[in-house]
Amino acid sequence: MAALPAQLLQAVVATPVATGLLLIAGRRLPRALGDWIALAGFVLPAALAPWLLLTWTDLSIPPEAFRSGGPWGFGLSLNGFSAPLLAMTSIVGLAAGIKAMTQDVEARHAYLGLLLFMLGGTLGVFATDHVVGFYFFHEFALIPTFILTLFWGGEGRRPAAMQMAIYLTVGAMASLAGILLAVDAAGLDWAGATFEGVADALLAKGAPRAAGALTLFGLGTLASLFPFHSWAASGYSAAPTPAAMLHAGALKKFGLYGLALLGLTSLRVTEGALGGWLLWLALGNTVLIGLVCLTQVDLKRLVSWSSVAHMGPVFLGLWVAGARGSASGLDAAVLLMTAHGLSCAALFLLSNDVRVRAGSYRFEEMGGLASRAPVLAAMFVAASMASLGLPGFGNFWGEIGVFLSLRAEPLWIQALAASTVVITAVYTLRAVAAAFFGPESAALARRAEAAPFGDIGWTSRLAAGLLLAALVAVGFMPSLVTDSTNRVSADVVKYARPAAKTPSAR
Amino acid sequence: MSADLPVLVHWILFLPLGAAALQALLLRRQGALASWLSTGAAFVGAGLALRILLTSEADVRWHAELARLGEISVGVGYLVDAHARLMLFVVTFVGALIHLFSVGYMADDGARGRFFAGLSVFMFSILGIVVADNLLMTFVFWELVGFSSYMLIAHYFDRDYAAAASRKAFVVNRVGDLGFILGLAFCLSRFGTLQFEELRALSPAGGWPFALGALLACGFVGKSAQFPLHVWLTDAMAGPTPVSALIHAATMVAAGVYFMARIFFLLDPSLLQIVAVSGAGMAALGGLCALAQTDIKKSLAYSTLAHLGIMACALGLGRPELALLHMAMHAFFKATLFLGAGSVIHGCHHEQDMLKMGGLLRKMPVTAAAFIAATLSNCAVPFLAGWYSKDAVIEAAFHSGRVAEAALLSVAAVATCLYSARMIRLVFLGTPASEEASHAHESPWTMTLPLVVLGLGYSVFGGMLATAMVPASALSTVAGPLGAMTFHAAAPATVVGLAALVLGVLALRFYTAEPGRDALRDRMPRFYALLEHRWMDGLYRWYVDSVQRRVAELVAFLDLLLINGVLVRWVGAGIPALLGFLSGRAFHGGQARAYAAWTAAGVIFIAWILIAR
């Protein structure tokens, strides 16, 4: 009999999957009943996962209490990186769920069921330490993402879904090949192929370079590493808002999480030429994609592009951790992954509320919305400020942590990395001004005359409020995340630069 | 007693934040309640700050770790030394009076709750800078000050100019903050700590690196609107006038000066030379440009640029205590001037053009008295507050043989008297030049009381009060320079000051043209246009339009062409073709379900291989 935390971890993953199955199987269920089932699937993980994070950081409870076997041959467990990411995913999932349940869509049960599958899969990614298990969960989440985009997406959904499917399939296959090569080189059986097991086995002999390259570029593609990013902007833009929230906010972190726990430790992707590539490409995300953001004229595409640009500092944090042995880079990267998930989801959510009112995502058709929707404006400004790394929100600690962890690098590298604080401010505040400030646009006035609209309702406030509250909580108490990441980051750094040889469970 | 001091600082710091949170969550529509809550919090803060100022002789220290990022400890803490005590008092006292003024000034505003919440967030942010015991915490609050400034400048967000000005202020400040961040990293890399006291205890061989001070000073250049990042300050006047008084005159812009005084020990002498020359130049230029503004607030904004230049020059001359003294005195008289301008604008039915004013001395006597008193202080009339600090800086420049700086500061002193005389002449003397001015009325007591206290009390008697009332031991920052400087009629600064005053009196006559006309523009149009033109804004506009935008468009085009075009088309055509070949069936573009099925099949296949091992 597994301990209580392990049982709750199982419940976190199983509930959305089970409720999703119920909804898809029970297409003829009454709408209200279906909604209650979906609500349970979204709420339960959000109630349990943050509690698990707090429990995990209680050092008096042994890590084994969070571990349990599973029917697939791999078990569920938590580690210092996954605990905050699991909590973040559950909150993003609840916000996405609330948004989805307020939408008027065809085949509602299937829509909600697929979203629950997506959530269950994403939670699963962060709830197992098995190197193929976590991949399995990622695929489990990805397939409903494609379907959701294809059938419930917006303008340009077919080519976007196809492009996304191709990119992510190729990326997933490449990373799987890398993972399998690593497992093979480690000579482990199925049960032993955990992050720690593979890292231990490869500590002395090292992994084939091909495994490192495949994993870096495969997982990099899934996390929209420059120049394998093209799927992201069109994919998120075309996806229905709840799917974009979950994908850009949580599921995309699979690639980064995999790089942190497998790429840095077992495959040492930051060593040698590969490491050099990672540095340059991460700067590409930060600076070049940041510049692309400056040219956007559509709010949802801007949010999509900016989520690609924001991966730059995360990759830099991972790079400096592996290449220079900086645990601060890792702590900051995971902190930024957690916070970005929340802020990015909030921006997708609120952008949709803007579109509902303005009738379009295009800046030229917006303007002056703050007068009619002050709460929407305030929440959008807050999410934007989180996104541009304002203190008081979790993103700040992640970004500044990455910049400080780069302190031993040449000044030009630091300057390019930190240039994101200016570039992000320019395009983010431009979006805020275009949507909310200035006199009311003629298009908006016409729409308001034809069909009067007001501020966002309580469901949007609740959904965005959850995300913003979590961001503020991490902003004021970064230790909520770092207490969990601290120990594992020190160990990962030891594996990445194998001078030290003492792995630890946490 | 000393054990309670950190608790007092907690209260001073977090009271405004609590007020802001209450306003944002519960009092958004209760404007009156929100305004008094915010004002009450500010006055309690001022009382507590006064208590610390008068009763505490020892530095207040408190520190706690917030989190660990790997090897980096992220901490919050207080270091309230003599400088911080003075700054705490100035910020909370001026802040509280400006809150009171705002109660009247914003009485008809529909978004009072948001406005006062913004003021409270600002108070929290600026006070965090004042008490911070380390560079990272300073940076945290530094950024928050930038945000609250953005929010308050954008208060009238439905006007294009306010929206543009708020963005400009934030972005320009962030350019400075980029340097600040690099400075933090440099400091941590070289010295392993960001704590002020730990840094102070170090004495690096070969002195402190030039780069450290230069990078950290970038933050100062942005926040204190120093050349070349000064362009945001005049636009920031788009915010409500109390915001201009509190943030863009008395406190936020002064935070940069305070910060430089805080880290003065690690500034390289050659960096200080640059700061001195740049500051003196800014002082002269700001003063002259103020002559070519017709908007009363913009004219005062240029005056602020000039005074910030004087403070920077004092820092550069190696006299941080003089910079702080001038910061304190300037906070009092400039806040009065802005509040006076606000009262005038309020009385003239939101008219800001000085050429449309005139004759307000009789219609708004209390405002006029306070404004004129503060103007005299601004002009450094002997024994008024401004005289103690401004002439001390000029004297310091002469005394240390810095001819260029002394000359530029002398120009600034003359310019100050000229634009002050012009302001008095155009706004308060003569006859009304517009309907608005002829129907002007005195402002309510909530607005005039702060004017009287700040203007008549502190602008006039500030310096004397500082020397007479405040215990020297508790306020060595002020007592020190006053004791050290000697003033006598033959001192160069005194000669310059008196000459400037004479020119100011003459300017009163010069500007006695017909109402609605500017004598300088009429008589020297080219010179006026030269001062009026915003050269740096033009340069930045050219950069944004011709460089940044084009580079961004080029990068976006290349991304579209090379990455999205060539790479994706290749992969888009190649992979399905390969899969189609393998599967023996044709794939058609858009059949994402098929790809999804392939992914699933791949996963099952791989899983099977692994399980079978």
Measured between alpha carbons, how far is A437 from A375 in angstroms, rounded to an integer?
Answer: 13
Question: Which of the residues B68, B69, B145 would you substitute to probe the A interface, choosing the one with the greatest number of A C-beta atoms within 10 Å?
Answer: B69
Tell me whether residue B485 is in a domain: yes
Query: Residue B607: which of A136, A407, A422 has the nearest Cβ?
Result: A136
Task: Round to whole Å and give the CA distance between A120 and A140.
Answer: 8
Most confident of B166-170, B435-439, B476-480, B572-576: B166-170
The reply to whether residue B69 touches residue A405, judged by beta carbons under 8 angstroms, is: yes
Q: Give the total number of structural domains in chain B.
A: 2
Residue A501 lies in a domain: no
State which residue of chain A sits closest to B564, comparing Cα positions.
A230
| ipTM at complex level | 0.92
Q: Answer yes or no: is B253 within a domain.
A: no
Higher per-residue pLDDT: A234 or B591: A234
Residues in CB range of B375: below 8 A, 6 or more apart:
B337, B420, B423, B424
Tell me whether B523 touches chain A (CB under 8 Å).
no
A373: three-class secondary structure by DSSP = coil
**Six token digits for residue A148:** 């959701």
B562 is a domain residue: yes
**Residue B575: what pLDDT?**
57
Residues of B in contact with A230 (CB under 8 A): 559, 563-564, 567-568
Q: B529 and B548, same structural domain?
A: no
Shortest alpha-carbon distance between residue B529 and chain A (Å): 29
pLDDT, mean of residues B34-60: 89
* B 80-119 near A (Cβ less than 8 A): 111, 114
Cβ neighbours for B249, distance < 8 A, ≥ 6 positions apart: B300, B301, B304, B330, B331, B334, B335, B337, B338
Residues B349 and B439 in one domain: yes
Last residue of a domain, one of B533, B553, B584: B533
Identify the pLDDT of residue B459: 63
Domain-ending residue, one of B533, B549, B576: B533
B514 or A6: which carries more pLDDT confidence? A6
Among A158, A162, A426, the residue with its CB nearest the CB of B171 is A426
Q: Identify the domain containing residue B553 by its residue range.
A: 538-612
Within a domain: B600? yes
Peptide bond into A227 cis (omega under 30): yes
Residue B476 maps to a domain: yes
Instruction: Say if A505 falls within a structural domain.
Output: no
Contact call for B595 and A162, based on CB within 8 A: yes
pLDDT in tens, B336-352: 999 999 999 988 888 89
From chain B residues 481-500, the ones with a CB under 8 A of any chain A CB are none
- Answer whether B397's CB lies under 8 Å from B319's CB: no
Task: Fill in the amino acid letter for B68.
Answer: R
Q: Would you call B160 an interface residue with chain A, using a CB distance cutoff of 8 Å? A: yes
Same domain, B545 and B566: yes
Cα–Cα distance, A153 to A237 (Å, whole number): 9
Please list every residue in chain B whose beta carbon sits closer than 8 Å to the beta carbon of residue A486.
Answer: 68, 70
Residue type at B99 in one-letter notation:
H
HEC profile of A417-475: HHCHHHHHHHHHHHHHHHHHCCCCCHHHHHHHHHCCCCCCCHHHHHHHHHHHHHHHHHH
Q: How far apart are CA B227 and CA B281, in angstroms?
A: 9
Whether A470 contacts A392, CB under 8 Å = no
Chain A contact present for B232, CB below 8 A = no
Same domain, B463 and B424: yes
Q: What is the pLDDT at residue B389? A: 82
Residue A147 to residue B593, Cβ atoms within 8 A: yes
- Indicate whether A503 belongs to any domain: no
Residue with tokens 């004219």: B299
DSSP run (H or E) holding B61: strand B60-69
Domain boundary among B500, B533, B566: B533
Q: Is B569 part of the contact surface with chain A (CB cutoff 8 Å)?
A: no
Does one domain contain both B575 and B504? no
- From the list B68, B162, B591, the residue facing A482 with the nearest CB is B68
Contact B590 A162 (CB under 8 A): yes
**A434 and B CB contact within 8 Å:** no
Lowest mean pLDDT among A164-168, A197-201, B27-31, B136-140: B27-31
Instruction: Give the pLDDT confidence score for residue B471 in this predicted structure.
Output: 39
Domain containing residue A410: 4-496
Whether the Cβ atoms of residue A204 and residue A157 lie closer than 8 Å to each other: no
Shared-domain flag, residues B356 and B476: yes
Residue closest to B145 by CA, chosen among B218, B222, B44: B222
Contact at 8 Å (CB) between A255 and A271? no
pLDDT tens, residue by residue, B240-286: 988 988 887 778 888 899 999 999 999 999 999 999 999 999 999 99
- B496 in the same domain as B390: yes
Residue of B553, B572, B603 with shortest CB distance to A163: B572
CB contact under 8 A, B559 and A190: no
**CA nearest to A193 within chain B:** B610
What pLDDT shows up at residue B280?
96
- The whole-number pLDDT of residue B541 equals 87
- Whether the per-residue pLDDT at B479 is higher than 60: the answer is no
Residues in B closer than 8 angstroms to A482, CB to CB, are: 67-69
Lowest mean pLDDT among A4-8, A346-350, B193-197, B513-517: B513-517
Residue B270: Cβ within 10 Å count: 11
Residues B377 and B496 placed together within one structural domain of the fold:
yes
pLDDT of residue B77: 94
Touching check for A433 and chain B: CB below 8 Å? Answer: yes
Asked whether residue A200 is domain-assigned, the answer is yes
pLDDT digit string (tens) for chain A, length 506 residues: 678 889 999 999 999 999 999 999 988 899 999 999 999 999 999 999 999 999 998 888 888 889 888 766 788 999 999 999 999 999 999 999 999 999 999 999 999 999 999 999 999 999 998 998 889 999 999 999 999 999 998 888 888 888 888 888 888 889 999 998 888 888 888 788 889 889 888 888 888 888 889 999 899 999 999 888 888 888 898 999 999 999 999 999 999 999 999 988 888 888 888 899 999 999 999 999 999 999 999 999 999 999 999 999 999 999 999 999 899 999 999 999 999 999 999 999 999 999 989 888 898 888 889 988 999 999 999 999 999 999 999 999 999 999 999 999 999 999 999 999 999 999 999 999 999 998 888 888 888 888 888 889 999 999 999 999 999 999 999 999 999 999 899 888 888 876 544 333 33
Chain B contact present for A227, CB below 8 A: yes
Chain B contacts in chain A segment 238-297 (CB below 8 A):
288-289, 291-292, 294-295
Per the listing, tokens 């298990």 go with A133
Question: Cα B377 to the chain's mean position, in Å?
Answer: 21
How many separate domains does chain A show? Answer: 1
Q: Which of A169, A193, A371 lies at the smallest CB-CB distance from B595? A: A169
Q: Identify the three-state secondary structure at position A159.
A: helix
pLDDT number for residue B467: 58
Statement: residue B608 has pLDDT above 60: no
Question: Any CB–CB contact under 8 A between B567 and chain A?
Answer: yes
Q: Do B372 and B432 have their domain in common?
A: yes
Nearest CA distance, A425 vs chain B (angstrom): 6
Q: Are residues B502 and B604 located together in one domain of the fold?
A: no
Q: How far is A36 from chain B (nearest CA, A)?
A: 29
Flag if B599 and A440 touch (Cβ within 8 Å). no
| pLDDT tens figures, B199-209 | 999 988 888 99
Provide φ and ψ at B245, rounded to 5°: -70, -50
The greatest distance separating any two alpha carbons of chain A, rounded to the nearest whole angstrom, comes to: 71
Phi, psi of A59 (to 5 degrees): -70, -10
Chain A hits for B548, Cβ within 8 Å: 294
Both B506 and B395 in one domain: the answer is yes
The SS3 call for residue B204 is coil
pTM assigned to the model? 0.90
Residue at B582 is within a domain:
yes
Domain-located, residue A58: yes
Give the pLDDT of residue B460.
62
- Do residue B549 and residue B510 come from a single domain? no
Contact A88, A123 (CB under 8 A): no
To the nearest whole Å, the CA of B21 is away from the closest chain A CA by: 12
**Alpha carbon distance B567, B574 (integer Å):** 10
